[in-house]
């Protein structure tokens, strides 16, 4: 992947690594703002109804308390200003268990937390809709036009007449993003202006939402968010805690810090919704698909709709003449669901790729062969040509690297002592888009020493954005990596796309590349000379004796990008070991082969992919947020109950990238890798569990009890 003399494509270690491991990288609550006060949120203990009375007297009198803010005294906010999930203390109405109903501000965190418990609340309860198993029967067509029934041909008829078919419902539970850094904010007012130190995956989005909700001008909000301790979608949209910190700071006329506790995360910042996905496949004897139906039923919030697109993979993965993709949704008294790593694709691929595996067993065909037989030459959903598609290479190279041919085709044939071994494969995909982003680059020369500063309001979730942008700039300017400074995560910088939907790397790297090219062009023009060999910006600074030079670009995706269907693709291979007596599953080996365009940095890219894989393994085996169907509360509120995989759950992880040169998607040929790493993973694991045990588990997670 490396081009000659380029640092792009080389496995450079994170340039901010030392800052992070020495604790010098400041996260949202690390800023040494003076005279700070602490806010603690308190939450409803019912899921539906209204607050009849709220007695804040004892809390207000508690030592150190500066203010108690509830719907009774909160400043008026705009509730449709772009903050997700409501809970802005504007009304006594309760729509979910654990909705914010107020906050205490005090001199210390402990004082605020204590006082928050002294608030006495009485409610008028109404009937809460919290039992998805019952309510799913009442689900209706979503308002979102993109979730309208999508039909091609007649899938139902084709299914009826099919010789071979699979019809099954796949269940995925509620999951939480649970980034290691819980959502946290410091708000500091300076006159009309408020600075919000906050973890934001979309810096300008947070700025706009905060300004609109607070009813102030956009330029009066500054978001500072250079480092983020993970987000996975939960820090994409912004939630009430951001704005309520600003409100608290205004009320007490001091800077205020508000950090959510782990327990508060479950009902403050969205979730991945529970889905029932019915997938139906029909095929001929020789494995040609004749119909594919993917029907999703899920839930959303009472007032707000969000439906993750579980049918997306089914739209494009296979050549099939008859296709049906539908969604039904039921409002529930639970917090608004939101984008969660690989939204729709991670969950949707579990259903689709499990069903494909089931079909392969029915046809007695290798599941790789079945997939290869149904490879589409164009995007079946819209007829557009692929910008590039690597599914076949991913499967073939993966099969070789993984030793697929040694797998036992029949289930339950591979016992080793107390364990059954199994192998599974599943594919995945995620769209690749570039979004408009601006960037500024400034060059400075002291003698022959030239340094560059690259600036844009991009977000680095901890994935290595600073590093890949320094690499991009170094090559484009002709400077060594260590002469580049990258400044991100500040709304005072040129506006940029969010680090969401896997658009970050392509949007930012193209903007940085463009601005460096533009700067070089401008220096050439300024020189008034003609060059046989195009000089670098670094050379021009010296030859033209320039001390300082700066320029900015507003980069946009290529004009013809949407004439093509652009996606990253992968194939996932899992080896599992299942304890015959106890049903405990361990993924002993996992391989992800990914085609994601140009890989800017194989080291950070590998981390991204195996990070996605680890969550996918968690999704397959351990992660589940459980709601008590009587009251709507989560019973899994800590990492003791919500089981993200531990080190011991993860075996040997391998990531392979397919070389590809896709200049159609965007000028640099960069596709995203943030999401595709989780897509197809759970299916690969579940398929391996079937291969090991002969048990087809269609309800995630595959906990030991399901295999007894």
CA 545 from chain centre, in angstroms, equals 46
413 binds another protein (CB under 8 A): no
Smallest gap from residue 205 Cβ to another protein (A): 32
Instruction: Select the span of 236-244, 323-331, 416-424, 523-531 touching another protein (CB under 8 A).
Output: 416-424
Nearest to 267 by CA among 367, 191, 338: 338
**Site for another protein (CB under 8 A): which residue of 528, 547, 648, 661?**
648
Instruction: Select the span of 67-75, 133-141, 370-378, 618-626 touching another protein (CB under 8 A).
Output: 618-626
583 binds another protein (CB under 8 A): yes
133 binds another protein (CB under 8 A): no
Within 8 A by CB and 6+ apart from 101, the residues are: 42, 43, 44, 51, 54, 70, 71, 89, 94, 121
**Site for another protein (CB under 8 A): which residue of 264, 565, 622, 625?**
622
**Site for another protein (CB under 8 A): which residue of 638, 652, 659, 663?**
638
**Site for another protein (CB under 8 A): which residue of 636, 665, 666, 693?**
636
Active site residue 353: no
**Site for another protein (CB under 8 A): which residue of 93, 643, 695, 696?**
643
**Site for another protein (CB under 8 A): which residue of 628, 652, 659, 663?**
628
415 binds another protein (CB under 8 A): no
Active-site residue identified among 95, 410, 675, 699 = 675
> Helices marked H in 412-457 — which ranges?
none
Residue closer to another protein (CB basis): 139 or 702: 702
CA 410 from chain centre, in angstroms, equals 36
110 binds another protein (CB under 8 A): yes
Residues present in the chain in total: 708
Q: Which residue has the tokens 């220096």?
A: 523
**Site for another protein (CB under 8 A): which residue of 24, 61, 72, 117?**
117
What Rg value do the Cα atoms of the chain yield, rounded? 26
The CA–CA distances, whole Å, from 213 to 244, 246, 489 equal 10, 11, 21
The residues with which 172 forms a beta bridge, in sequence order, are: 275
**Site for another protein (CB under 8 A): which residue of 89, 621, 684, 697?**
621
Smallest gap from residue 704 Cβ to another protein (A): 6
Output the CA torsion 488→29→208→300 (10° steps): 110
Smallest gap from residue 544 Cβ to another protein (A): 58
Instruction: Select the span of 5-13, 151-159, 429-437, 622-630 touching another protein (CB under 8 A).
Output: 622-630
Site string (584-603) toward another protein, x via CB under 8 A:
x-x-----------------
Smallest gap from residue 634 Cβ to another protein (A): 8
Smallest gap from residue 182 Cβ to another protein (A): 14
Residues 46-105 that bind another protein (CB under 8 A): 63, 97-98
CB atoms within 10 A of CB 286: 10
Smallest gap from residue 198 Cβ to another protein (A): 24
CA 412 from chain centre, in angstroms, equals 36
Instruction: Select the span of 125-133, 428-436, 537-545, 633-641 touching another protein (CB under 8 A).
Output: 633-641
125 binds another protein (CB under 8 A): no
Sign, Cα dihedral of 602, 605, 606, 607: positive
Site string (263-282) toward another protein, x via CB under 8 A:
x-------------------
Please, what's the b/e burial string for 1-12 (b: 16 or more CB within 10 A of its CB; e: otherwise)? beeeeebbbeeb
Query: Can you tell me the distance from the alpha carbon of 150 to that of 147, in angstroms, rounded to the nearest whole number?
Result: 8
The values of phi and psi at residue 36, to 5°, are -85, 145
Q: Environment class of residue 546 by beta-carbon count within 10 Å: exposed (0-12), middle (13-18) or buried (19+)?
A: middle
Residues 514-533 that bind another protein (CB under 8 A): none
Within 8 A by CB and 6+ apart from 383, the residues are: none
Residue closer to another protein (CB basis): 38 or 569: 38
Helix (H, G, I), strand (E, B) or coil at 678: helix
At 514, list the tokens: 């463009």
Residue closer to another protein (CB basis): 160 or 638: 638
Residue closer to another protein (CB basis): 561 or 626: 626
In the 3-class helix/strand/coil scheme, how is 166-233 assigned residue by residue?
Answer: EEEEEEECEECCCCCCCCEEEEEEECCEEEEEECCCCHHHHHHHHHHHHCCCHHHEEEECCCCCCCCC
**Site for another protein (CB under 8 A): which residue of 96, 318, 386, 419?**
419
Q: Environment class of residue 631 by beta-carbon count within 10 Å: exposed (0-12), middle (13-18) or buried (19+)?
A: middle
Residue closer to another protein (CB basis): 382 or 416: 416
Query: Can you tell me the distance from the alpha carbon of 500 to that of 614, in angstroms, rounded to the nearest whole number?
Result: 19
417 binds another protein (CB under 8 A): yes
491 binds another protein (CB under 8 A): no
Number of residues that bind another protein (CB under 8 A): 43
Interface with another protein by CB under 8 A: which residues?
43, 45, 63, 97-98, 110, 113-114, 117, 263, 416-419, 581-584, 586, 621-622, 626, 628, 630-631, 633, 635-638, 640-641, 643, 645-649, 701, 703-705, 708
Where in the sequence numbering do the catalytic residues fall?
Answer: 675
């Amino acid at each position: 992947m490396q081009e000659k003399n380029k640092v792009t494509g080389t496995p450079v270690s994170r340039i901010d690594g030392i800052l992070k491991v020495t604790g010098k990288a400041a996260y949202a609550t690390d800023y040494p703002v003076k005279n700070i006060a602490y806010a603690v949120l308190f939450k409803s203990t019912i899921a539906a109804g209204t607050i009849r009375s709220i007695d804040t007297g004892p809390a207000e009198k508690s030592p150190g308390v500066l203010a108690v803010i509830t719907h009774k005294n909160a400043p008026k906010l705009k509730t449709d200003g772009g903050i997700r999930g409501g809970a802005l203390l504007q009304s006594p109405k309760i729509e979910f268990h654990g909705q914010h109903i107020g906050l205490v501000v005090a001199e210390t965190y402990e004082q605020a937390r204590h006082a928050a418990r002294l608030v006495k609340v009485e409610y008028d309860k109404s009937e809460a809709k919290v039992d998805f198993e019952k309510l799913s029967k009442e689900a209706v067509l979503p308002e979102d036009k993109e979730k309208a029934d999508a039909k091609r041909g007649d899938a139902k008829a084709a299914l009826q007449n099919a010789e071979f078919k699979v019809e099954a419902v796949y269940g995925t539970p509620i999951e939480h993003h649970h980034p290691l850094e819980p959502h946290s904010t410091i708000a500091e007012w300076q006159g009309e202006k408020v600075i919000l130190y906050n973890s934001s995956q979309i810096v300008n989005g947070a700025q706009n939402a905060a300004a609109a909700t607070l009813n102030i001008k956009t330029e009066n909000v500054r978001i500072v968010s250079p480092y983020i301790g993970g987000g996975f979608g939960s820090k994409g949209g912004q939630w009430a805690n951001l704005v309520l910190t600003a409100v608290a700071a205004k009320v007490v006329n001091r800077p205020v810090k508000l950090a959510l506790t782990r327990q508060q995360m479950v009902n403050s910042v969205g979730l991945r919704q529970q889905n029932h996905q019915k997938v139906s496949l029909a095929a001929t004897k020789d494995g040609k698909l004749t119909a594919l139906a993917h029907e999703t039923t899920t839930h959303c919030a009472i007032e707000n709709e969000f439906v993750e697109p579980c049918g997306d993979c089914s739209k494009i993965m296979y050549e099939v003449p008859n296709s049906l993709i539908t969604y039904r949704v039921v409002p529930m008294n639970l917090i608004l669901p939101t984008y969660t790593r690989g939204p729709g694709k991670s969950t949707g691929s579990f259903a689709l790729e499990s069903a494909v595996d089931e079909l392969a067993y029915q046809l007695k065909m290798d599941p790789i062969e079945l997939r290869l037989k149904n490879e589409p030459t164009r995007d079946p959903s819209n007829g557009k040509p692929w910008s590039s598609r690597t599914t076949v290479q991913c499967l073939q190279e993966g099969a070789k690297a993984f030793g697929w041919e040694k797998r036992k085709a029949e289930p339950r044939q591979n016992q080793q002592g107390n364990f059954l071994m199994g192998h599974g494969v599943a594919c995945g995909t995620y769209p690749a888009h570039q979004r408009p982003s601006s960037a500024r680059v400034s060059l400075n020369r002291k003698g022959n020493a030239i340094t560059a500063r690259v600036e844009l309001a991009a977000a680095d979730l901890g994935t290595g954005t600073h590093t890949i942008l320094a690499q991009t700039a170094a090559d484009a300017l002709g400077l060594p990596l260590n002469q580049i400074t990258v400044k991100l995560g500040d709304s005072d910088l040129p506006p940029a796309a969010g680090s969401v939907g896997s658009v970050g790397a392509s949007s930012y790297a193209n903007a940085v590349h463009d601005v460096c090219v533009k700067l070089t062009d401008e220096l050439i023009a300024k020189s008034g000379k003609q060059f046989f060999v195009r000089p670098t910006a670094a050379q021009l600074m010296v030859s033209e004796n320039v001390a300082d030079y700066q320029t900015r670009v507003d980069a946009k995706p290529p004009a013809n990008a949407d004439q093509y269907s652009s996606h990253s693709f992968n194939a996932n291979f899992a080896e599992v070991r299942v304890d015959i007596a106890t049903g405990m599953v361990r993924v002993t080996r996992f391989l992800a082969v990914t085609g994601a365009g140009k890989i800017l940095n194989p080291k950070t890219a590998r981390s991204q992919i195996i990070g996605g894989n680890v969550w996918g393994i968690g999704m397959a085996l351990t992660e589940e947020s459980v709601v008590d169907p009587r009251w709507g509360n989560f019973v899994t509120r800590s990492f003791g109950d919500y089981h993200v995989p531990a080190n011991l759950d993860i075996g040997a992880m391998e990531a392979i990238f397919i070389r590809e040169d896709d200049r159609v998607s965007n000028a640099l040929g960069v596709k995203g890798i943030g999401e595709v790493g989780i897509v197809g993973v759970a299916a690969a694991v579940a398929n391996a569990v079937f291969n090991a045990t002969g048990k087809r588990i269609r309800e995630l997670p595959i906990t030991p009890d399901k295999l007894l």
